[in-house]
């Protein structure tokens, strides 16, 4: 990968260690990572970078760059910057979005309506069973089950969604190539093959304590709502739920026994105004209007990037032409996103919105990130 390419420039910016807010400002000012890297130390300093970060951009650590480039060179691995068309639209709306995202698997899943299913690492057998029950039902209904690959509730939710060939995304507090806990490596590999794995941290980044609370904002930001299945009073799942509430997203909690310490976090959320749910149907009913609103927004490709002037809206004939191209590219045999991009010449972001609209209209079905026609 040439050091001056856009992905390589994104890596140089990320590996500088500068805060995400500073990197977003750089990208907004210059329009691309390549231009930001060419701007030079005086410009970087004016955006708030310290001397160490400036040196790291000019002379990036060769081992870190090489590891990230090897990861990106593998199939179905992506790096999206803040201004990339494929950047997840709901995540763009939060107060502190990541400056860039590493994605293994199907990036189109980041545009699907999602529910974060979270809870305790030390979950009870009943809690794991409830996580699996809800995740299966939500995934079968077409919602993407988003969680954090942690032990307990997270793992149960991911595995249940995969078992019914439903969409699921893991948000990591490590690099995208690091399984934490280590025993979840097979689950991580399944998710990368049949769902998606995302991280704001470079490949090779280990499990640092401070990364997990910040990971929770991405979990909440990708999702229309957050479901807390089982959690103690000081569980990290409560952080995700409160972040979701602060973002104006829905928060659901499953009640438990008053004798179960792992239910106290859920009961606290309920006292604070979370919606009590006892079945997946209640979550689906609450989110149905939001799913429709999201589909309408995606059809319009959402709002322009900050600082951009909105271009002219596509004419009906242009929109019809794109949909016709996509419809001709989809057959009755399941087809992946990469193949659809090649067949249509459209971006993954544009395809994601159109695929969601076609799926909501009942014209196509998706399974393991692959799409096929329903009927003639």
Quote the pLDDT of residue 300: 58
Q: State the DSSP string of 151-192.
A: TTHHHHHHHHHHHTT--EEEE-SS-TT--SSGGGHHHHHHHH
Q: State the DSSP string of 204-270.
A: T----TTHHHHHHHHHHHH-SEEEE-S--TT-HHHHHHHHHHHTT-EEEE----TT-GGGHHHHHHH
The pLDDT of residue 353 is above 70: no
Contacts with 205 (C-beta within 8 Å, 6 or more apart), sequence order: 174, 175, 178, 199, 211
Share of the chain above pLDDT 70, in %: 90
Residue-wise pLDDT for 42-86, tens only, equals 999 999 999 999 999 999 999 999 999 999 999 889 999 999 988
Binning pLDDT at 50, 70 and 90, where does residue 18 land? very high
Binning pLDDT at 50, 70 and 90, where does residue 314 land? very low
Quote the pLDDT of residue 308: 41
As a whole number of Å, the end-to-end CA separation of the chain is 43
Domains annotated on the chain, with CATH: 1-73 (no CATH), 107-291 (3.40.50.450), 312-373 (1.10.10.10)
Average pLDDT over residues 219-243: 95
């Amino acid at each position: 990968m040439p050091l001056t390419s856009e992905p390589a420039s994104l890596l140089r910016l990320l590996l500088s260690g500068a805060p995400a807010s500073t990197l977003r400002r750089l990208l907004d000012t210059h329009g691309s990572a390549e231009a930001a890297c060419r701007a030079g130390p005086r410009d970087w300093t004016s955006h708030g970078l310290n001397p160490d970060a400036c040196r790291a951009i000019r002379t990036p650590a060769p081992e870190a760059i090489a590891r990230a480039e090897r990861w990106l060179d593998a199939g179905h691995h992506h790096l999206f910057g803040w201004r990339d068309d494929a950047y997840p639209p709901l995540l763009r709306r939060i107060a502190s979005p990541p400056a860039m995202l590493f994605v293994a698997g199907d990036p189109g899943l980041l545009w699907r309506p999602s529910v974060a299913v979270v809870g305790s690492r030390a979950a009870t057998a009943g809690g794991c069973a409830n996580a699996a029950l809800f995740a299966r039902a939500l995934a079968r209904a077409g919602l993407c089950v988003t969680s954090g690959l942690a032990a307990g509730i997270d793992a149960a939710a991911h595995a249940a969604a995969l078992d019914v060939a439903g969409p699921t995304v893991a948000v990591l507090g490590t690099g995208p190539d690091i399984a934490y806990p280590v025993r979840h490596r097979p689950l991580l590999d399944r998710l990368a093959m049949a769902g998606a794995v995302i991280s704001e941290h470079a490949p090779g980044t280990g499990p640092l304590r401070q990364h997990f609370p910040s990971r929770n904002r991405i979990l909440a930001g990708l999702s229309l709502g957050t479901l807390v299945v089982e959690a103690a009073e000081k569980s990290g799942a409560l952080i995700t739920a409160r972040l979701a509430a602060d973002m104006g997203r829905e928060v659901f909690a499953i009640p438990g026994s008053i004798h179960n310490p792992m239910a106290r976090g859920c009961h606290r959320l309920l006292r604070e105004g979370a919606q009590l749910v006892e079945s997946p149907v209640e979550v689906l009913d609450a989110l149905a209007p939001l799913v429709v609103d999201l589909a309408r927004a995606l059809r319009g490709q959402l709002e322009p990037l900050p600082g951009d002037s909105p271009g002219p809206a596509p004419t009906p004939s242009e929109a019809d032409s794109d949909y016709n191209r996509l419809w001709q590219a989809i057959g009755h045999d399941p087809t992946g996103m990469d193949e659809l991009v090649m067949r249509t010449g459209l971006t993954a972001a544009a395809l994601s919105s159109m695929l969601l609209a076609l799926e909501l209209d009942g014209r196509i079905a998706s399974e393991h990130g692959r799409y096929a026609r329903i009927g003639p």
